[in-house]
Structure 1
C-alpha cells in the first residue's frame, strides 16, 4: 500500500512559490540587494550589456556570489492559523497581478527581483542615502559570477518597483517643481489602502513589510485628522486653509515678541547649565511652539507633563506609520475584525479617544474667555475666525499635530546649528562680527534687526539646507495617469521627493557638503540670493506644492531669533576628553526616527557653551524683563482688539 502523500507546509509552499518566481525570467540580473547577507553561487546568467550604451558606469557589487534569498524564516513567528493561507494566496495573487501588468515607458530604475522588484535594495532606515546614490550614479554596473555586465541608468527621476507598486523618485528641483508645484492638482494626494503587502528583509531575519498604506495611523489612530496622512479632499482643504490663516507670514508676526522672550530664556539657561545645552534646545523649542499654538506660559523643562504627552503622541503616530508595524498594513481586510479579535485595533481606538480628549482640553484652555486669559495664539485665531467651519474635534486635532510636528523639527534644526558652529568656527566669527556691528553689545538682537543681518538670515537657510530635518518627503499619490519628459507615471503611483538629494545637488550648491552660508548672498554680502523653485527659502526642506510645510514662517522666525541671540551671547567651543584630546563631533551620524516621516537630527555630541563677555548675564536679565513687558503689552492690545471686534 502506498503511503499517503504529505502536503507541504505553508512555509514550504511560500518557499516553493518564490523559487518558481525566480525562474519567471530566463535572463535577469540582481542589483545590489544586501551585501551583508549570506551568499550563494550564481546559477542564473544575464545577457551582455548593449554595446551601444555610452553613459558612465560604476562597479557597485563585485562579489562572485549573489546574496541568498531569506527563505529560512519561520512564518510561525509572524502569522498563525488561517493567516498562513492568506499569506500564500496573497503572494500568488501578487505574482499573477505583476505578470499580466502592462508595461509602459516608466522612468528608468535599478534592476530588481521578479515580483518583489526593488524591496530588498532599500535599507530600513535613512533610505535617502540609497536613493541619492542611485541619483548620483547615472549609470551603475552589476557583475555576476560568469562576468557578464548589466548597465542600468538612473538619474534626476527614476522609478522603483515595490512588489508591483510603482514609486517614482524625484531627485532634482526642476522635476519636483514641474510635478509637485506646477501640477499640484495631480500630485497632492496621499497613498490609499491597497490589497497586499510585501515580504522584506532587515538583515536580522525576515518580516512582513507594508508599502505606505497608513491604515493604522491614518484610519484608526487619527481618523484621518492628522494632516500628513489625510487624503486630498474636503477635510484636508478645510484644515489646510485654517492652518494657513493662522500661520501665514503676516499672522506669524504677532508671535515675534513671544519668540524674543523665549530666545532670551534659552540663552540664559544654556549659559547657566552648558552641559545640558541639548536639553535646553528641546525645552525652548517645545515652549516656543506651545506658546504660539496654545498661548501658554513658558515651560520650565522639556519633561513638562503636557509636553511629554504631546511628544508621546507624535512618537506614537510615527511608530504606527512605519512599514511593518501592524499586520493590517499587509492584510487590509483585517481592519474589519472586531476589537475582541484585534487587540491592536482596540488599542488604536482607545488612543484616538484619549488624544482627542487631550487636544480638546488644550483647545478650551487656550480660549478661556471667561477667565480673561485670551492670548494671541493659533487656536484663538482658529476659533474666532471659524476657519472653514471646522468642528471642535477637527480644530483640536489640527492644533495638537502642529505642536507635535513643530517641536521636534525646530529642536533638530537648532542642534544642526550648534554642530555647524562647532565644525565651522570661521562662520561663527563672521556672524558675530555682523551682529556686533549692527546690534552692539548692550542689548540682544530683535526682529527689528532682521533686515540688517543678511549673514544670519543666510545661516538659517544653510542650516535647513545642509542637514534637512525631513530628508524624504511623505509619499504622494498620482491621482491620474501623467507623462513627464517622455516617461509614463501611472495613476496610483507613489511619488517621493528626495529632499536630501536636492539640497545636496552639486550643480545648484557647489561644495554641497560644506556649511557655507555665503552661498545665499551676492558678492557684496548684503543681498539675498536664492535658487529657483525654492519659494525664496534657498532650500527644499519645507516641501512642495499644496503640501508645503504650513508652519514655515513660524519656524524661520524662531530659528532666526534663537541663532542671532546665541551668537550674540556665546561662543561654541570644543570639548575635550579625559586625555586632553579634542572631541570632534560626527558630521554624518544622525538619529533617524522613522521611514515614512523621518525626523533626522545629529547624534548627541559634546561642546562648550561659554559667554563672550562678562556683561552678558546682566544684559540677559534686562532683556528678559524688557521682553516680558513687551509681551504683556501685546496681550493687552490683543484683548482690546478682540473686544472691539465683538
Structure 2
C-alpha cells in the first residue's frame, strides 16, 4: 500500500510522506542539509567505556569547545561542550532551548518508570517537581537548615577525633544524617545499619552506574527495553523504601501536593531526590578535600589555619557566622569543587528543544548536550596547571561566567536545587577540619610519607576518590577538648530529633 501511495504523489511528496512516518528519517535529512555547519567531531562516538569523561576531554582537546558526536543515543546526536563559556552561553543564557532532557531508557524508564524529575523532559511534571525542590531548598529556606548542619558537623569532628582512620565513613554518616533530618526529620546514627539510608544509597548507586551516556545499547536501540529481564541483566531493580516524618521537606511536599496535583508516587520520588544530590556529592567532595590536604596541604593549610586562628581563635569551632571573614577557607572550598568535581559529566545531560546556531555552528533540535566538568574544570585557559590544588585562584579576578568561579552546580533551569545546602556543608566542615586537625600524609613502616594517587577515582555518573591513607591528628590538646565539648553540647540538642529506625 505504501508503494502505491509513493507512486501517486511523486518524489517530493513521497519524501514528505516518509518523513512523517519515520521522524528519524526527517532528522537524517535535516542533518545532511546542515552537514557543513555542524560542529566538528568524530564520525562516531565510542560506547561502553568506563570513564567517558576522560574520552570527552580528549574530544574537546582535539576538536574544540563544541563537539558533535553521533551514535551515542537513539534520541539524536550528542554535543559535548568543553568550556565554561560555551556551557554558560547555551545552558544558562539560552535555557529556554536547552532545559529539557534526552530519553533515558535504562535509568529513566526501566529503573524509574518516568517519575524521576531529574531525568524528566521539559513539561508540566518537571515544572511541578522543580517548584517543589526549589521552594524546599532555595537559599532562604536552606539557611533554616543550618542548625542541623552545625550540630551534625560537631558530631563529625568528634567522630574523626575518636576514629581518624574511619574518616570516610564519618563523612558519609554526616551527609546522610543531614539529608535525612532535612528530608524526613530523622537522624542517622549508623549508615551501615540504617535500612532507609542503605536502600536509598543502593538505589542511587544503581541509577548513577547506569545513567552514563553510551554505556548501554538500549540507549541507542530503545526496543531492547522490551527484552525479557532474564536476558537483560541491566534490568534488575529493587524496591526503594522511604520514610515520612514530621516538620521537614517531606511535610512541605505534603502541604503542596494538592495544589500541584501530584500523586503519592510522584511525591515519593521527589522526596527521594535530595539523597542523590546530598549524600554522594557532599561526601565525595569532602573526601576530595582530604585527598587535597594529603597531596598539597603543605601549600595551603598553614595559611588557612593562620586565618582561622585570627578570626575564630582557639576556644571554639568556626560557625556559619564566621564564614564571611574566612575568605581563604572559602577559596579552599571553591577549589575543592573545582579540582575534583563529583559530577564529572556535569550532571544529567540536557537536550535541545529547537534548532539553534552558536558561533556559526548548527546544533539540531533533539541533541543531547553534555557539559563534562572534568573538561570544563580542567580547561587550562581558565585554570592553569589544572591538576594542582590552588585556592588562590578564587582570590583573583578571573573572566569566568557566573558568580561562583566554578560550575559544580550546573546551569540554568536545571541548576542543582540543593546547591545552597551542599555548599554550606562543604564550607563549614572544611573550616572545622582545618581549625581542629592537621591532615598530612600517612607514614610507612620506615617513617616515609605514603604518596597518594590524585587520579584514583570511582567510575559511574558521580566519581569520588578511591580509598587512600592519611594522618589526621588534633592540632593541640586544647583543640581536641573544644571538639569534645562542642560534641557534648550538640548531642544534647540533637536529642530533640528522632533517630532513624535501624535494621534489627
Band of TM-score, shorter chain: 0.7 to 0.9
Match of 1:467 in 2: 340
Compared with structure 1, are the counterparts of its residues 99 and 297 closer, same or farther at alpha carbon in structure 2 (3 Å cutoff)? closer
Of 82, 101, 118 in structure 1, the residue corresponding to residue 45 of structure 2 is: 118
* SS class of match (2:161): helix
Q: 1:282–1:302: 8 Å Cα contact kept in structure 2?
A: no
Match of 2:249 in 1: 378
- CA-based RMSD of the aligned residues comes to 2.9
Match of 1:133 in 2: 58
* SS class of match (1:601): coil
TM-fit CA distance, 1:426: 2.7
TM-fit CA distance, 1:320: 3.9
Deviations 1:22-67 (A, max 9, x none): xxxxxxxxxxxxxxxxxxxxxxxxxxxxxxxxxxxxxxxxxxxxxx
The answer to whether residue 481 in structure 2 is matched with residue 618 in structure 1 is yes
Q: 1:575–1:608: 8 Å Cα contact kept in structure 2?
A: yes
| Aligned-partner Cα distance in 2 for 1:350–1:556 | 32
* SS class of match (1:463): helix
Match of 2:40 in 1: 109
TM-fit CA distance, 1:325: 6.9
Of 122, 126, 132 in structure 2, the residue corresponding to residue 242 of structure 1 is: 132
Of 82, 95, 98 in structure 2, the residue corresponding to residue 187 of structure 1 is: 98
Deviations 1:76-95 (A, max 9, x none): xxxxxxxxxxxxxxxxx999
TM-fit CA distance, 1:286: 1.4
Compared with structure 1, are the counterparts of its residues 229 and 436 closer, same or farther at alpha carbon in structure 2 (3 Å cutoff)? same
1:545-560 alignment runs, 5 A limit: 545-560=412-427
TM-fit CA distance, 1:488: 0.8
| Aligned-partner Cα distance in 2 for 1:255–1:584 | 38
* SS class of match (2:467): coil
TM-fit CA distance, 1:126: 2.1
TM-fit CA distance, 1:390: 2.9
- TM-score, normalised by the number of residues in structure 1: 0.67
Larger Rg: 1
Deviations 1:204-235 (A, max 9, x none): xxxxxxxxxx2232123212221222111111
Match of 2:141 in 1: 251
Deviations 1:376-411 (A, max 9, x none): x22222223447343322222111121133211111
Compared with structure 1, are the counterparts of its residues 250 and 588 closer, same or farther at alpha carbon in structure 2 (3 Å cutoff)? same
Match of 2:409 in 1: 542
Of 448, 451, 475 in structure 2, the residue corresponding to residue 581 of structure 1 is: 448
Match of 2:153 in 1: 263
TM-fit CA distance, 1:459: 1.0
Match of 2:502 in 1: none
1:446-465 alignment runs, 5 A limit: 446-465=319-338
Match of 2:64 in 1: 155
| Aligned-partner Cα distance in 1 for 2:232–2:425 | 39
TM-fit CA distance, 1:630: 5.6
Compared with structure 1, are the counterparts of its residues 432 and 491 closer, same or farther at alpha carbon in structure 2 (3 Å cutoff)? same
Kindly indicate which of the two structures has a greater share of residues assigned to helix.
2
Match of 2:294 in 1: 422
Match of 2:119 in 1: 229
* SS class of match (2:67): strand
Match of 2:84 in 1: 173
Match of 1:79 in 2: none
The answer to whether residue 174 in structure 2 is matched with residue 284 in structure 1 is yes
Compared with structure 1, are the counterparts of its residues 455 and 345 closer, same or farther at alpha carbon in structure 2 (3 Å cutoff)? same
Of 562, 565, 568 in structure 1, the residue corresponding to residue 429 of structure 2 is: 562
TM-fit CA distance, 1:99: 9.3
| Aligned-partner Cα distance in 1 for 2:370–2:210 | 20
Match of 1:10 in 2: none
| Aligned-partner Cα distance in 2 for 1:223–1:242 | 20
Match of 1:515 in 2: 389
TM-fit CA distance, 1:335: 4.5
Structure 2 gap segments, 5+ residues each: 1-22, 498-504
| Aligned-partner Cα distance in 1 for 2:39–2:492 | 61
TM-fit CA distance, 1:178: 1.4
Deviations 1:301-350 (A, max 9, x none): 4453222111111112234435677665454335557xxx5457999697
1:57-136 alignment runs, 5 A limit: 102-104=32-34, 105-112=36-43, 117-119=44-46, 124-136=49-61
Compared with structure 1, are the counterparts of its residues 518 and 324 closer, same or farther at alpha carbon in structure 2 (3 Å cutoff)? closer
* SS class of match (1:102): helix
- TM-score, normalised by the number of residues in structure 2: 0.85
| Aligned-partner Cα distance in 2 for 1:516–1:107 | 37
Compared with structure 1, are the counterparts of its residues 246 and 95 closer, same or farther at alpha carbon in structure 2 (3 Å cutoff)? closer
Of 380, 396, 421 in structure 1, the residue corresponding to residue 268 of structure 2 is: 396
Deviations 1:592-615 (A, max 9, x none): 1x2xxx211122110111011112
* SS class of match (1:169): strand
TM-fit CA distance, 1:240: 0.7
Of 490, 494, 499 in structure 1, the residue corresponding to residue 373 of structure 2 is: 499
Structure 1 gap segments, 5+ residues each: 1-92, 138-153, 193-213, 368-374, 523-528, 636-646
Match of 2:163 in 1: 273
Compared with structure 1, are the counterparts of its residues 423 and 349 closer, same or farther at alpha carbon in structure 2 (3 Å cutoff)? closer
Compared with structure 1, are the counterparts of its residues 515 and 391 closer, same or farther at alpha carbon in structure 2 (3 Å cutoff)? same
* SS class of match (1:160): strand
| Aligned-partner Cα distance in 2 for 1:623–1:448 | 16
* SS class of match (2:97): coil
| Aligned-partner Cα distance in 2 for 1:574–1:231 | 46
TM-fit CA distance, 1:530: 6.4
Q: 1:314–1:405: 8 Å Cα contact kept in structure 2?
A: no
Compared with structure 1, are the counterparts of its residues 620 and 500 closer, same or farther at alpha carbon in structure 2 (3 Å cutoff)? same
Compared with structure 1, are the counterparts of its residues 388 and 457 closer, same or farther at alpha carbon in structure 2 (3 Å cutoff)? farther
Match of 1:203 in 2: none
